[in-house]
Chain A
Amino acid sequence: MRHFDVYRIISASLRTGVILSMASIISGIVIIMVKGGADGYTLAQIASYSRSQTLYSSLIPLNNLFTGMYQVDGAFYVAFGLWVLIFTPITVVVIALISFIETKNRLYIALSSCVLFVLFFAMLVVPHFLS
């Protein structure tokens, strides 16, 4: 007897992630429009396609994510929404891992840990080589 329905939990967490992320992205854009800019950039710069002028991901200090959101800076709301989106599929792997631990499926515990390892390698280790 399974303690929980993996499929249902995965489905619910995916939907929650998408809704939360979309809400955060939309409110971020509205704040940017209303305030006429974000993170020290003007509205025109933010909407620009030019790589030398515009505000792109690596210029947003993630360390200040929550301070930025507290100061009602639109860029950080969009950034938060984008990161929620990036983390949404990862929770699926975590949920799958938990279900494999519960059924004591050693092979699949190893495989899902492997996937999580690569994911966090891409997030935490690779960026050091890039900068």
Chain B
Amino acid sequence: MYELLAIILKFISIVFGGILAGFIGSLTGLGGGTVLVPLLSIFYGVPIVFATGASLISTIATSAGSASAYTKEKIANIKIGVGLEVATTIGAVVGSLLTVYLDHHALTWLIYVIFGIVLLGSLVPAVKRGQSELPPHTRPDWTTRIFELSGKYHDARLKKDVNYNGIRWWLGEIIMFFAGTVSGLLGIGSGALKVLGMDWAMNLPMKVTTTTSNFMIGITAATGSSIYWYSGYIQIFIAAATAIGVVIGAYFGAKALVKITNKDIRWIFLAILSFLGVEMIIRGFVTDNIFFIVPLIQFSISIVIAVVFISVLYVHNLRRLKSVEAL
């Protein structure tokens, strides 16, 4: 009886971790997996491959859950999504096989380190998110016509119909291949890279980018998940708990995002994420005994580096905003 209670509590504690990850993930726009993997591997002591496995499953759940709400608004572009999925699914196969390789060769510390670097790297575009709604006008190129990258949607906030032309389909495909690889390797949706591919490379409006990326993330994660399944990286107890938790957390995160008027609150979460990023890198080296640091000192180092990192981003962002206002 005592044991059963302890295990139920353990399950609930993982669900709670999932809720937290889903909440922060949807509030910062980085997705639940980005928070879940460090949370599970650093604070719950879950082996990294189980953490990425649970995360990949949870990523499908959140992507499907929120995409079902978004697609009704008809903003997501299914043609662009399916076209780019060719590259992300191939990338996901490569990425998840890479994880299997690293795991078989006792190189899992590399997964921690790459995860940390990707996490810190995706904070930079996350900071800029939501500032320019519409892309600069550019002329359609040959891929616009061949791949039918033009579209139209109704923007409720701007109160007008927005017409857009996607360009440089090939460049989008190249970036999406890497997004898929990162997704399969680290068990995350890699939404930041997907947004980069569509926003920066293909010059699509932010709304189209985020909704289409959300709908693509599930398909990419499904590809990686099946390889994870056969490699034994999905621990059913953990995956069940996180899938439930992340869905609940993402739901409340999306609700909160609409209500939060003070955008500075996002900085607190971005700071937490940068701490997790640095911590993952250090943890990678420590788990493989490349060097040893007492956990307390390890946390202190992570906090200091994270504070410096986020301050630099904050100051940089303030300056940029000021120069925009000056114009």
- A90: contacting residue among B68, B72, B222, CB under 8 A: B222
B236, closest chain A residue (CB): A78
B interface residues (Cβ-Cβ under 8 A, vs A) = 3-4, 7-8, 10-11, 44-47, 49-50, 53, 57, 60-61, 63-65, 67-69, 71-72, 74, 78-79, 82-83, 85-86, 89-90, 92-93, 96-97, 100, 146-148, 215, 218-219, 221-241, 243-244, 247
> Is A10 in contact with B71, judged by CB distance below 8 angstroms?
yes
List 22 interface pairs A-B (beta carbons < 8 Å), by A numbering: A6-B78, A7-B72, A11-B67, A14-B65, A18-B64, A25-B244, A46-B236, A49-B44, A49-B235, A57-B236, A60-B236, A81-B240, A82-B236, A85-B243, A86-B225, A89-B63, A92-B215, A105-B148, A115-B86, A118-B223, A119-B223, A122-B92
Number of A-B pairs, beta carbon distance below 8 Å: 202
A interface residues (Cβ-Cβ under 8 A, vs B) = 6-8, 10-12, 14-15, 17-18, 21-22, 25-26, 28-29, 32-33, 36, 43-44, 46-47, 49, 51, 54-60, 75, 78-79, 81-82, 85-90, 92-93, 96, 99, 105, 107-108, 111-112, 114-115, 118-119, 121-123, 126-127, 130-131
Chain A residues, Cβ within 8 Å of B146: 107
Chain B residues, Cβ within 8 Å of A22: 61, 243-244, 247
A116, closest chain B residue (CB): B89
Per DSSP, chain A at the interface is helix
> Is A121 in contact with B236, judged by CB distance below 8 angstroms?
no
Of listed A14, A89, A90, residue having the most chain B CB within 10 A = A89
Nearest Cβ on chain B to A117's Cβ, whole angstroms: 9
Nearest Cβ on chain B to A113's Cβ, whole angstroms: 10
